[in-house]
Structure 1
Amino acid sequence: MPRTRAQLLAVVTAAAVALTVAGTQSGAQAGDRDRRGPGVAERPTKVVIIVVDALSKEIVDTYDMRNVEALMKDGVDTPNGYLGHTGSVTVVTHNVVTTGALPKNMGWTTEGYRDVDGLLGAPGGLYITSNFGRAQMAPLQQAAGYPHLSDYLDDTGTVFTVSPKGYAAWGLSGPGSANTSTITFGSGPTCPNPDGTTTRYRQPTGFNVPAYFSAACGSRWLARRDTIYDTGQFPAQLYPATDHRYVVGNDPAQAGGDVWATDAVLEIMDQEGDDWSGIFVSLPGVDKAAHMWGGVNDPEGATPGYDPMTHMEYAAATADAQVGRIVQALEESGQLDDTLVVLTADHGSVAAAEGHFHGDFEPENDYGYYNWYYGSPANDVPYLRPQEALLPLIEGTDDGTGDSNVGLSYSDSSLNVWLDDQSSAAVADAAAIMADLPDVTAVWQRRGDRYQRVTPVRWDRMHGAEKRWFATKAQELVDTQAADYGPDLIATLPDDTTYSVLGDHGGIQRASQQVPIVFAGAGTSHHDLRAEVRSVDIMPTILRAMGIAPTVPMDGTAHELPVRRGGRP
């Protein structure tokens, strides 16, 4: 029987949900202090970055995430901030946040990648980047020539990265050094149960994983596999929850998902004491629920066999509780005044409205991958079952040999296409077909360091504020992908449209772009930054706050953080 919401919230620590930053920042109960108190560092010496995957501002408001709202109120919020790049996807943004590099300068731009220089194999090979591990990301990161935040911090203490998603972890952490540690999930043991059955698990893996993250049967750090709950049905079956990588589960002794990641962060703080300089953590629960159930359109209790654990309300409450636990742990350890806390998201979530979901569905797990991808990537199985909405492009670029000119396509809340024949005529033919695909608002062709719009804008497919957003942001956002390894063509889509799963990321829509960017701790004040702060600005702003001179230029802007009077980071 599904548990009540009250029972579920108890699992994710009700006390933490009620926590407010005003009550945890040292001395903040009485408002901003006139000067720094005893023991407060002149500048922060540590950084904690919390990335709540898919956390749009709309989700924060809709689900009343009180700890996140408290950080926004009592820390340095950025009410005009936004993601600031495409593709607005996990595998891109985690790397943007800790490098200050836009996708066009960081090595890959979205979930598709053309290996122009042969860094991973034969030159020109097409890859899916969300399959990348350290072995694939590191050559691209190193070829781009930028340092990660961990490279600036690892001289003063170990830098830890924690994420249940491997590609998120490697983006946040960078290639790593002897003084960095990256903890994610890999395949684990099959363990016996008292009743004679066995259970498969995932276990901690990564780079320089501390020995206290045991992978032995019975360890708290294992996460159960083969757990689908109510997600084996439409729409969740397009991308179902099949283990506790993203879902908390029913066993508090081996909780998965966001609780696992936060428990790992707290274990690091406890084990390492003061001997760390950075902790970067990615919480993926909201992202998984939004993909499965359509974001804020989640039907919740109307779902047959409803289990709240896999849905948006529970995921938002869980993530919010973990934010509270991390800030509380910093306060209780006496490290909050020395630690700059950054809260952000890797993208928001576009919820497909009725009639604006253009993917196909078959009753088989993970069918959404056939909506996301078309082609035969070098690092995955072939995806040659394109959804009906994309067929005009796949079939219309056939030169008569039976082969489509689409080498790879990636579709979410935008359409991204890499062509085999990149001649002007072939690109123009494909662009003309894309313009007529369902709900496309414009088609953009990559030309050098920018994308040129090559079709009229379909203003009739947008409404009010959406039109204004498109007019002011579309060109800027698509241009951030303008690299020779990026897509040849991009088609933008309206606010409420996806081609993949019912809740998705990827495009220029406000729901994808309007994410929280908050700075707290380390003597910051409650005064907001009114500039249009972007994700690419996070890294240079951290370095400025810490008084660290960058060793290479960055694409982002270093903003000065407002602080309580008496000193500045």
Structure 2
Amino acid sequence: MSRRTRPLLAVLGAGVAVAVAAAGSHSGAVAAPNGVPGPPAKPTKVVIIVIDALSKEIVEKYDMKNVKKLMADYVDTPKSYLGHTGSVTVVTHNVITSGLLPKHTGWTTEGYRDVDHVLGDRDTANGISDGMYISSDWDNTSMFPVMEHYGYPKLADYLDATGKTFTISPKVYAAYAFGGPGSSSIITFGSATCGTAPNTTSWRGPRGINVPSYISAPCGGRYYVERSKVYDTGKLPAVMYPVSDNRYVVGKNPDHLGGDIWATDMALDVMDHEDDWSGIFVTLPGVDKAAHMWGGVNDPDPTGAAGEPITHVPFAAATADAQVGRIMDKLEADGELDNTLVVLTADHGSVAVANPPNGVSSDAHFHGTVCTTPDCGFFNWYYGNVENENDTTNYNQPQDALKPLVATDNLAFSYSDSSLNVWLHDQSPAAKAEAAAIMADMPDVTGVWRNDGDHFTLVSPVRYDLMSTKAEQQWFDKHAQELVDTQAAPYGPDLVATLPDNTTYSVAGDHGGIQRAAQEIPIVFAGAGLGSRDVMAPVRSVDIMPTILKALGIAPTAPMDGVAYPLPKAK
């Protein structure tokens, strides 16, 4: 396939110009004339690009040209949506590469009750926590045992027959959920200090499983980024979940760029060094971090003399978009594009509070505590004791809206974002009824749902009056039951409360719920000789894995919840 000349997209921020290749006109491969072999009948390689928190709304608002180009030139899914709750990173990365709904994977959202004692019962310094864990705090020592206990293969297990798989994500829990135990190499961020006094520099650098030496060495090399970076995120609303280093943002040091460029550089390095790679799974986290801090599509953009574009959503969207182009260009330059199925998707969208909290007046649909201590938003997300080895915090500062439920002394744990998820000490019908009645009266709750084993039962009236448009009401009627039911498992929450659009209990922009903004994500299949005819079915994240296996001609060895869709080839 001939290579086209592509322009460079300049990503500018805080005086640093980062030139990154942008995707140009990518079209489905066709058989070349004069007897030259065309694309292989079945691809043998897979690249999955997850742009964290990329809703379709963000693609359009920030005119992500490379993402749109893939949608136009390859197989788009215009009716795609996430298809499960919790619509969060630690769940969806596992769904994508397992083909299973959360109710069959071992955990359903950021809260997890260890009902099968997979991880053992540990006493924390703050008391016994009912076997409750925060799954977004997990690494391989917690996540892999749960996957193995529930006994399902991951995509890496299928791809290892033809080569190595490499999983790359700046987020620890995303990396291990995405790759699983079968991934040949998992690369994420750790901590390291390099140099000798008095010129010691504190770096955050790569760690994981089987990290290649060209990535990990030397200490302080390219893949080590500067720590103790705040930029303009020490003010509201970002301070509730601010940056602290260059893991999730690009930063200003051109020799140690972080965030999406860090992850993409690493993926391209793997392609250069590993002749036998069969899978590369990469997460780009910049959009997610900016959306959490500043309120997603309601990001006010940099303001004042201290404003820093690199922490905000417009810069993050442009940067992520450019990395998509770089990966596609690299595959074509290496002659691998026709042999590689590329999947572009997101792990969830982003629900934005209409006016992010500013410390003076907060929007009527923000129900967390407006606070100014860095990372205080964690106390909006979580309430209760947890057994995680990596997190010994006692989450005992509930927002006012949650206090009536806390006052029952029956709240074991709660996780609140754009939905409310509750685990109770006493799980009797009477105790659940008491908690459900309290939740129904909490601000902006549109419905309360009780976990009845294999499904959730709606146990409150539906508050259509809280939904601002007819379209929102129709979305609720069509999808609420389906989405909540994907959490119906013993380890899932006892009760779930759904919330309307533009509503969070946590930070300025968040995920987790049934809202269209959280659910409507892109799912695009590219490369591999594919054409531009779209799949018009309502494709979900759980359908990605079986569709990949079908495209590669691999027979599944275990049941999956997803649908395997045929992908149209170029004519």
**For the superposition of Structure 1 and Structure 2, which TM-score range results when normalised by the shorter chain?**
over 0.9
Letter in 2 for 1:163: S
Deviations 1:460-482 (CA, angstroms, capped at 9, x unpaired): 00022100000000000000000
* Pairing partner for 1:447 from 409, 430, 452: 452
Matches within 5 A, 1:268-287: 268-273=270-275, 275-287=276-288
Matches within 5 A, 1:9-88: 13-14=18-19, 16-17=21-22, 19-22=23-26, 38-88=37-87
Matched, 1:368 2:370: no
Q: Secondary structure of 1:160's match?
A: strand
- Aligned-partner Cα distance in 1 for 2:213–2:40: 31
* CA shift in 2, pair 1:346/1:446, >3 Å: same
Matches within 5 A, 1:142-181: 142-176=148-182, 180-181=184-185
* Pairing partner for 2:431 from 407, 426, 432: 426
**Is the 1:224–1:244 Cα contact (8 Å) retained in structure 2?**
yes
- Aligned-partner Cα distance in 2 for 1:171–1:38: 38
Greater share of helix: 1
Deviations 1:298-331 (CA, angstroms, capped at 9, x unpaired): 0113356210000000000000010110000000
Letter in 2 for 1:534: R
* Pairing partner for 1:532 from 529, 533, 538: 538
What's 1:337 paired with? 338
What's 1:401 paired with? none
TM-score (norm 2): 0.92
* CA shift in 2, pair 1:545/1:37, >3 Å: farther
- Aligned-partner Cα distance in 1 for 2:15–2:26: 23
Q: Secondary structure of 2:216's match?
A: coil
- Extract unaligned runs of 5+ from structure 1: 398-403
Bigger shift: residues 362-371 or 296-305: 296-305
* Pairing partner for 1:209 from 204, 208, 211: 211
- Aligned-partner Cα distance in 2 for 1:228–1:366: 12
- Aligned-partner Cα distance in 2 for 1:35–1:349: 49
Matched, 1:183 2:187: yes
* CA shift in 2, pair 1:11/1:536, >3 Å: farther
* CA shift in 2, pair 1:33/1:563, >3 Å: farther
* CA shift in 2, pair 1:37/1:295, >3 Å: farther
- Aligned-partner Cα distance in 1 for 2:519–2:306: 33
Matched, 1:113 2:112: yes
Alignment identity in percent? 61
Deviations 1:196-237 (CA, angstroms, capped at 9, x unpaired): 543211111111111111343430011111000000111001
- Aligned-partner Cα distance in 1 for 2:384–2:317: 35
Matches within 5 A, 1:328-477: 328-353=329-354, 354-379=363-388, 380=391, 381-395=393-407, 397=408, 404-462=409-467, 463-477=469-483
- Aligned-partner Cα distance in 1 for 2:101–2:32: 37
- Aligned-partner Cα distance in 1 for 2:478–2:55: 20
Matches within 5 A, 1:214-363: 214-273=216-275, 275-302=276-303, 305-353=306-354, 354-363=363-372
- Aligned-partner Cα distance in 1 for 2:521–2:41: 30
What's 1:400 paired with? none
- Aligned-partner Cα distance in 2 for 1:11–1:157: 38
* CA shift in 2, pair 1:317/1:9, >3 Å: farther
* CA shift in 2, pair 1:97/1:6, >3 Å: closer
Q: Secondary structure of 1:253's match?
A: coil
**Runs of 4+ off more than 4 Å:** 9-15, 32-37
**Is the 2:13–2:308 Cα contact (8 Å) retained in structure 1?**
no
Corresponding residue pairs, total: 543
- Aligned-partner Cα distance in 2 for 1:26–1:318: 27
CA RMSD, 1 decimal:
1.9
Deviations 1:246-278 (CA, angstroms, capped at 9, x unpaired): 0111111110010000000000000113x1100
Cα deviation, residue 283, structure 1: 0.5
* CA shift in 2, pair 1:125/1:131, >3 Å: same
- Aligned-partner Cα distance in 2 for 1:34–1:482: 54
- Aligned-partner Cα distance in 1 for 2:115–2:35: 52
Bigger shift: residues 5-14 or 223-232: 5-14
* CA shift in 2, pair 1:21/1:119, >3 Å: farther
**Is the 1:21–1:327 Cα contact (8 Å) retained in structure 2?**
no
What's 1:512 paired with? 518
- Aligned-partner Cα distance in 1 for 2:11–2:152: 47
* CA shift in 2, pair 1:230/1:15, >3 Å: closer
- Extract unaligned runs of 5+ from structure 2: 1-9, 123-129, 355-362
- Aligned-partner Cα distance in 2 for 1:171–1:447: 27
Deviations 1:10-58 (CA, angstroms, capped at 9, x unpaired): 95755624x22427x656xxxx989996252110110000000000000
Cα deviation, residue 289, structure 1: 0.1
Q: Secondary structure of 1:361's match?
A: coil
**Is the 1:9–1:314 Cα contact (8 Å) retained in structure 2?**
no
What's 2:358 paired with? none
- Aligned-partner Cα distance in 2 for 1:72–1:418: 40
